[in-house]
Amino acid sequence: MANTAFVTLVTNDDYTLGALALVRSLKLSNPDRHIVVMATRSDLPLDQLDREGCDIRIVPRPEFSDDFVSRHSRERQHSVAPFTKGTKPKFHDPLDNFCKLRVWEFEEYQRVVFLDADTIVVRNIDRLFGYPEFSAAPNLYETLHDMHRLNSGVFVAEPSKATYAHMLEKLVVPETFWKRTDQTFLESYFPDWHGLPYVYNVLQYIYFHLPQLWEWASIRVVHYQYEKPWERFHERSEQLKPLIDLWYSILEDRKIPEDVPRYTPPQ
Ligand code: UDP
Ligand code: MN
């Protein structure tokens, strides 16, 4: 399909590093594709992304009322709807997640594949451009009960400024609190979302919670939800060591390993 692009988002230094690994992975697995990096500030360390040939677009956070901002602050989100399954890094600002919606403004593309800056693409995913709006994979990381929820780390969208304007109308409703930010919003905005095969968004906890689904040969995207591989030390770094090594081999050596060993539970 003509006029397509991969798009990611960065709002601070940490996610800019994440995006660099993502971009390097895309260049290995999906060569010659147009890659757009949405950045909310021009003072981020964007030079390496620029050298990789990314199309960097400065897009400010959508204008939200003070009320909406305070309802979705990091402090409030963590007290009203605490994360019990994993830990969000300190550099994660939930309000920044809503910047993803800006992708609908890129009308020059008929279709885009959005990828979180904490994902890496380890096999070709061009087929995603054949899926309609709105497609996403299930939020599968602990049990099969989560099959009916979507994860907004990888999705297919058809940009339209009219859709963007309509989305903002639905988003900024007085008193509304989007518990899991853009993810909860997109699920409600697109109740009939199309399900992608889970291999297009393999959440890192699948590795140890659902090891029967870790089939390296069929995995296309690895998504480091919760703790990030570039955090020096985190609660899961031991359990996730092979996946952290995978992330570094892409960032530093520009190589996608032939294999990633299966999880071995502690004896
Ligand atoms: N993001 C960002 N800065 C933030 C929060 C989010 O740039 O402070 C972007 C980034 O692309 C990130 C995505 O929004 O990958 C969603 O956040 P994250 O991946 O940390 O959420 P999780 O996948 O852990 O739910
Ligand atoms: Mn993510």
pLDDT in tens, 34-74: 999 999 999 999 999 999 999 999 999 998 888 888 888 88
Residues in the chain with pLDDT values less than 70: 1-2
**Cα–ligand 1 centroid distance for 65 (angstroms):** 21
Q: Model pTM? A: 0.97
pLDDT in tens, 162-194: 999 999 999 998 888 898 899 999 999 999 999
Q: Residue 57 belongs to what H/E stretch?
A: strand 55-58
Q: CB 7: neighbour CB atoms within 10 A?
A: 23
Q: Ligand 1: list residues with CB < 6 Å.
A: 8-12, 15, 92-93, 96-97, 116-118, 153, 225-226
Q: Which residue has 């992975």 as its token pair?
A: 25
Query: In this predicted structure, what is the pLDDT of residue 173?
Result: 86
Choice from 17, 77, 96 to test ligand 1 binding pocket (greatest atom count within 8 A of CB): 96
**Cα–ligand 2 centroid distance for 250 (angstroms):** 17
Q: What does the alpha-carbon distance between residue 148 and residue 163 come to, in Å, rounded to a whole number? A: 24
Specify the 3-state DSSP secondary structure of 5.
Answer: strand
**Cα–ligand 1 centroid distance for 266 (angstroms):** 30
